[in-house]
Structure 1
Amino acid sequence: MSELTIQNIIETFHLEVVAGEQWVHRKITTSDISRPGLEMAGFFDYYPKERVQLLGKKELTYLSLLDSKTRRERFDQLCHPITPAFILAHGVGGPPELLELATARQIPVLKTPHQTTRFAGMLTNYLEGQLAPMTTVHGVLVDVYGVGVLITGKSGVGKSETALELVKRGHRLVADDVVEIRQVAKNILIGSSPKILEHMLEIRGVGIIDLMVLFGASSVKDNKRILLVVDLEVWDPDKLYDRLGVDDEKMKIIDSELTRLTVPVKPGRNLSVIIEVAAMDYRMKKLGINAAEQFAERLEQAVMQNTLIEEESND
């Protein structure tokens, strides 16, 4: 799980710091946010004090109807030492009592010009993505026909060279060598590249190349949902490889399962074309068109038909 601070939110959403600029490095530990409506009315039994608190027009208008003493009592309970920050929507300024108590408790107060509901959705999506369970995988992630393909295999098997050929054929690189994978929901894995490796590709004998410089912005992508894993391995003549593709092989990353294909590598095999076809076949299967199953059904029907002909001839 990534470490996230209020400073990250400020930079991402271009928020204005109203108070507590020196405490913007406070950590955020949950992706949930809170709109303290009931708390404004004095009900604090289930106050989620560990969340970012978002105040909109309704909350601030209600507070304006209270006398200064009551407002101070409410904010005294709202401003808990573990509260990461207060964010004011619609670009409004904060009540003096909030600014005073938040400053005393070292809690930053921010504001955004966005509407409350819109900003709540944007912030929640961002926090869920950043605080999702994360792992790293050695491989290459490429966007092929809209399908996020994670190419894995032992070092030197040709993952980066295959990715380079795919980029030349119009597809997009997401990450090379190290792929950071976040599970934002069950069976939804988002892959991205570490900042230091963004847009970079390592080709043995050539070195590090910047794909965005060489092929343009359309050749790279910041992140992509991973749907298919293609594992490259050196051809083993004694191993029996799947030739029909009826049985799906699975690979587990964090708590999610992905379809995995094992592709043997030997001279003469065009891996980039194979991966393109694999991505297109994956999309067709999701649309309900499975060539392997269709072939198996045809084969079964042919066997049954031949059996009936033999039985009739014997009679």
Structure 2
Amino acid sequence: MKLLTIENLVRKFSLKVLTGENQLQQTITQSRSHRPGLEFVGHFDFFPTERVQILGRKEITYLHKLSIEERQIRIGNIVKYHPPCFIVTAGQEGLTYLTQYCVEEGIPLLCTNEPQTTSEFITKLDAYMIKTLAPEIAIHGVCVNVYGMGILLRGKSGVGKSETAHTLIGRGHRLVADDIVVLKKLSPRTILGTHDGKTKEFLALRSVGLLNVVRLYGRKAFQDETRIALDIELTKWQKNSLNNELEHEPTFTEYMDVQIPHIEIQLQPGRDVAGLIEAAANNWLLKQQGYSAAEEFMKRLESDSSW
């Protein structure tokens, strides 16, 4: 998990700093923001004080309608909890009273510059904070996006992961990361795959060297991140170890307590590994839609035997 500061938010979203220029290095620990509503009317039982507080048109309009004395009470009740910062959206004006309280309490007060609704800004802000603060690990492997699905290619060094990724790129798919894949846990069921920044756009091929896939094949050959759907392990060919069962028992690889469907593909000269990966990706998608080729085949057999 990376360190997230208020200054990171200022730079990412081009926020204007109204107060608290000296407090921008304060860290943010919560991955979601909060719009104080009940807190303005005195209910603080579940007030998430460690979250970034968002003040949109509804909140600011409510404060404008209060008397000076009542407004001081409402704002004072919130700022005394010292949230990381306040962000005012939707181009609100007349914030002199809010600025005064934030200066007195040393709380950064920021405002958006882009013309967007509060809901739109919160969606972008929360998505950024969730990704930045997500637990993460780095694994050895390759990450590609095939038919819109994130796939991890793992295996021993030299087994052919990068070469397989190169073949997939030639078929119109995208590279996400080579050698070092960073996995981020966005939710109890979601793992995001990305690069570590240093290897971005690079693919290392034995006997050829380091390639920049964007320079060679265009922007369409690279994708910055992808949700991981399949974990595919490439292994050396072992005679008599494969079988022709109609449907294999599902197996999973666990990353940060999230289970990812696992498939093993054995390598042999002349075997179309990239084609098998494409087939696995499409088959996984069909299963998500409730279709099983094995089940349909068995139904056909049962139907024929009934005659």
Aligned residues of 1:246 and 1:292 also touching (Cα < 8 A): no
Counterpart contact for 1:81–1:106, Cα < 8 Å: no
Structure 2 residue 12 is the aligned partner of structure 1 residue 19 = no
Q: Which amino acid aligns with 2:47?
A: Y
User: What are the within-5 Å matches in structure 2 for residues 64-143 of structure 1?
Assistant: 64-80=64-80, 82-93=82-93, 95-112=95-112, 113-143=115-145
Which residue of 2 is the match for residue 311 of structure 1? none
1:284 aligns with 2:286: yes
Three-state SS of the structure 2 residue aligned to 1:33 is coil
Query: What is the letter of the counterpart of residue 71 of structure 2?
Result: R
Shift of 1:163: 0.4
- Mark the runs of 5 or more structure 1 residues left unpaired by the alignment: 309-315
Matches within 5 A, 1:146-161: 146-161=148-163
The residue type paired with residue 213 of structure 1 is R
Code of the aligned partner of 1:26:
Q
Contact 2:60 2:92 in 1 (8 A): no
Q: Distance in 2 between matches of 1:104 and 1:197?
A: 46
Contact 1:93–1:111 (CA under 8 A) maintained in structure 2: no
> Amino acid of the residue matched to residue 30 of structure 1?
Q
Instruction: Give, in angstroms, the shift of residue 125 of structure 1.
Output: 2.7
Distance 1:178 1:152 in 2: 11
| Counterpart amino acid of residue 271 in structure 2 | R
> 5 Å matches for 1:1-40?
1-40=1-40
Offset, 1:241 = 5.0
State the alpha-carbon separation in 1 of the partners of residues 284 and 177 from structure 2: 21
Q: Secondary structure at the match of 1:110?
A: strand
CA displacement 1:22-53 (0-9 Å, x = unmatched): 32222111123221223223443433211111
The residue number in structure 1 matching 2:272 is 270
Q: Does 1:227 align with 2:266?
A: no
Tell me, what secondary structure is at the counterpart of 2:264? strand
How far does the alpha carbon of each residue in 1:161-187 deviate from its partner, in whole angstroms, 9 at most, with x for none? 110111011111111112222222232
TM-score by length of 2: 0.88
CA distance in 2, matches of 1:287, 1:63: 49
Q: 1:300 to 1:260 in 2, by over 3 A?
A: farther
Question: Residues 193-204 of structure 1: matches in 2 within 5 Å?
Answer: 193-204=195-206
In 2, the alpha carbon distance for the partners of 1:209 and 1:82 equals 50
How far residue 238 of structure 1 moved from its aligned partner, in angstroms, is 5.9
Partner residue, 2:212: 210
Q: Which of the two has higher C-alpha Rg?
A: 1
Letter in 2 for 1:13: F
CA contact (8 A) 1:145 1:171 kept: yes
The Cα of 1:202 is off from its aligned counterpart by: 1.3
1:235-250 aligned at under 5 Å gives the runs 235-237=237-239, 239-240=241-242, 243-250=245-252
SS in 1 for 2:198: helix
For 1:257 and 1:221, locate their aligned partners in 2 and report how far apart those are by CA, in whole Å.
Answer: 23
**Native 8 Å contact 1:81 1:107 kept in 2:** no
- Work out whether residues 88 and 94 of structure 1, in 8 Å CA contact, stay in contact via their aligned partners in 2: no
Provide TM-score, normalisation by structure 1. Answer: 0.86
1:90 positional shift: 1.0
| Aligned partner letter, 1:35 | R
The 8 Å contact of residues 49 and 80 in structure 1, kept in 2 or not, is answered as no
**Superposed displacement of residue 264, structure 1:** 0.9
Let me know the Cα RMSD of the aligned residues.
2.5
For residues 197 and 106 of structure 1, do their structure 2 counterparts lie closer, same or farther at Cα, with a shift above 3 Å needed? farther
1:92-120 Cα distance to aligned partner (Å, 9 max, x none): 24623332332343321111142222222
Give the corresponding residue for 1:49: 49
Moved more, 25-34 or 122-131: 122-131
Give the deviation of 1:81 after TM superposition. Answer: 6.5
Structure 2 unaligned regions, length at least 5: none
d(CA) in 2 for partners of 1:211 and 1:241? 36
What is the CA-CA distance between 1:8 and the residue it aligns to? 2.3
SS state at 2:270 partner: coil
Percent of matched pairs sharing the same residue: 38
Change (3 A) 1:50 1:270: same
Deviations 1:243-292 (CA, angstroms, capped at 9, x unpaired): 54332222222222221110111222221122112112222233333233
Taking the aligned partners of 2:9 and 2:214, their CA distance within structure 1 comes to 27
The 2-side partners of 1:281 and 1:188 are apart by 20
**1:286 alignment partner AA:** Q
**Paired letter, 2:96:** P
Task: State which drifts further: 172-181 or 94-103.
Answer: 94-103
Moved more, 283-292 or 53-62: 283-292
Corresponding residue pairs, total: 305
Q: Pick which of 27-36 and 152-161 moved more.
A: 27-36
